[in-house]
Amino acid sequence: MKQITINDLVKTFSLEVLTAKNELDDVIMQPQTRRPGLEFIEYMDFLPKEHVHVLGEDEIRYLDNLTDEQCERRVSNIVKYHPPCIIVTDDQSGLVYLTKYCTKNNIPLLRTDEHNYEFIKKIDAYLIKNMAPEIAVHGVCINVFGIGILLRGKSGLGKSETAHTLIGRGHRLVADDIVVIKKLSPQTLLGTHNGKNREFLALRSVGLLNVVRQYGRKAFQDETRIALDIELTTWKSNTLNNGLEMETKFTEYMDVQVPHIQIQLQPGRDVAGLIEAAANNWYLQQQGYSAAEEFRKRLESDNYKSSWE
């Protein structure tokens, strides 16, 4: 898991720092924010620690309606658990007790003029993506028809050349050589570059290409959800399965299973076209359609015969 500091939040979201300016290098441990509501009414049976706390108009107005004694007590209840920072949205003012206790406990109190719900969506998305567990995989990541594909295989088999052909057909490069895979949820993997290889594609006998400079912005995108794992392998006689015999196989990355397809290479095979077909077929399967299932039904009918039988 990558580390995010409070200062990263300040810079990313242009936050105003009200207290504890010397504590901005503290690390945030939880990839989601929390709105302390029940805690303000002193329901303290369960208070998740280490979350960034976000307070909007509802919470601040509630505190404003309390007596000084009540407000002081309830703010101190939150602050004593020492959250990494507290962010006040909607440019709220009159933060007397929040400022007092955050200063006393060296907790950064930050402020933004953005509305609460919009801000929470943005900061949660930022934290989840940037703190997600990640691994680096040797291969190429490309977006084909809006579908993220991880293209793997031994060095020299033609992964980058295949990606170049797909770019020529209007698809988009995400990463070449080193693909960073982030686990955003138990079911979702995000493929991206490592920063250094952004926009670059290495082709043997040609050299390094900047696909954006050469083919325009449409040839590249920063990230994509990985839906298919395609492995390029050398040709092996008598090992190709037809469409009726194929069973879905999976490759596992960080406990997330991704459908796996193996494409054997041979001079003359349209590998880029096969990848396009695999992407379209995956999309149809997500819509509930199976070509193999429909074909089986036809084979079972009395008036349909096929050489595939």
What is the Cβ-side half-sphere exposure of residue 165, based on CA atoms within 13 angstroms? 13
Q: Is 82 a catalytic residue?
A: no
Q: Is 236 a catalytic residue?
A: no
Q: Is 159 a catalytic residue?
A: yes
How far from 223 is each of 172, 190, 265, CA to CA, in Å? Answer: 10, 7, 27
Structure tokens at 127: 């934290």
Which one from 53, 159, 182, 193 is the annotated catalytic residue? 159
Q: E strand or H helix at 213, and its extent? A: helix 211-215
DSSP letter at 296 equals H
CB-CB contact of 254 with 189 (8 Å): yes
Q: E strand or H helix at 7, and its extent? A: helix 6-13
Of 224, 221, 144, the closest CA to residue 184 belongs to: 224
Which one from 138, 236, 249, 305 is the annotated catalytic residue? 138
Residue 48 to residue 53: CA distance in whole angstroms: 10
Which one from 171, 177, 182, 229 is the annotated catalytic residue? 177
Instruction: Just list the catalytic residues.
Output: 138, 159, 177
